[in-house]
Amino acid sequence: MFSLNNKTALVTGGASGIGLAISQAFAEAGATVHILEINQDLANQVADDIKASGGRAEAHAIDVSNQAQVVDLIGQIASQGPIHILVNNAGVAHVGKADTTDEADFERIFRINVKGVYNCLYATIPHFKANGGGVILNMASVAASVGIADRFAYSMSKGAVLTMTLSVAKDYLNDNIRCNCISPARVHTPFVDGFLAKNYPGQEAEMFEKLSKTQPIGRMAEPKEVGALALYLCSDEAGFITGTDYPLDGGFIRLNN
């Protein structure tokens, strides 16, 4: 499809679900993929699989919410050669309304979903500027623009990701840095399976069907469908696209009426 030959990409949360599909799509398109993951074992396994299929990947253990770790790691990667693409994909879910979300959960969601993205921007943008440009892709959610019921902190955190995308796109227009986000509705990943197992034990299959039907198209997205859009948006072919949000939502935002 689109080539990422000779490009180096960082993918946070790049060993599971959507991030895994992005790592695989980028590696197949010729990029060297750095998987920035809190789950080191999974990241090692994914990097080994990519290498076994002839691609280039490296696994790095990191918590994106820890700024010192992020700056140190991205500095090390940048010292080996230019970084061209940053995908801020790592994120965690939470169920709750304003009066049922405790302070610890509120802070945890913001620490990972919001501060984690900021940390990676903070660490990577100086390298992009020094190298004459770069591409940033953030993983938001339909929750950012519609506010999903019973997902108070999560929806707000994704709203912040959407706003960060616009702000960064404006601030670095003259530095040849493009910044966009994707807003998926439900994608069938371990994130969804874990949510169902935790909140609906014994009713996972029934709830899976029910959640699938909340999307007008009648099913969840597959991770590789997000990977394909991510590949396009990070390729040179999308050179005119910046400061925008791409819903990948089976009609969730506009057709749910």
* Residue 187 within binding range of ligand NAD, rule CB under 6 A: yes
* Residue 37 within binding range of ligand NAD, rule CB under 6 A: yes
Distance in Å, CB of 58 to ligand NAD, minimum? 15
Q: Out of 4, 10, 11, 15, which residue is the one contacting ligand NAD (CB under 6 A)? A: 15
Catalytic residue among 118, 154, 172, 246: 154
CA distance 82 to 178: 16
Residue whose tokens read 């969601």: 109
Max alpha carbon distance in the chain (Å)?
A: 53
Strands 56-61 and 32-37: parallel
CA distance 181 to 20: 17
CA distance 151 to 256: 18
* Residue 155 within binding range of ligand NAD, rule CB under 6 A: no
Give the residue among 247, 34, 51, 78 at the shortest CA–CA distance from 158. Answer: 247
* Residue 251 within binding range of ligand NAD, rule CB under 6 A: no
Q: Out of 59, 78, 109, 112, which residue is the one contacting ligand NAD (CB under 6 A)? A: 112
Which tokens belong to 57?
Answer: 């990947």
Q: What is the DSSP string of 72-122?
A: HHHHHHHHHS---EEEE-------B-GGG--HHHHHHHHIIIIIHHHHHHH
Distance in Å, CB of 232 to ligand NAD, minimum? 17
Interface region with ligand NAD, contact rule CB under 6 A, candidates 44-52, 63-71, 100-108, 201-209? 63-71
- Residue 154 a catalytic site member: yes
Q: Out of 2, 28, 30, 39, which residue is the one contacting ligand NAD (CB under 6 A)? A: 39
Interface region with ligand NAD, contact rule CB under 6 A, candidates 47-55, 119-127, 164-172, 189-197? 189-197
Contacting residues toward ligand NAD, per CB under 6 A: 12-13, 15-19, 37-39, 62-65, 89-92, 112, 116, 139, 141, 184, 186-187, 189-192
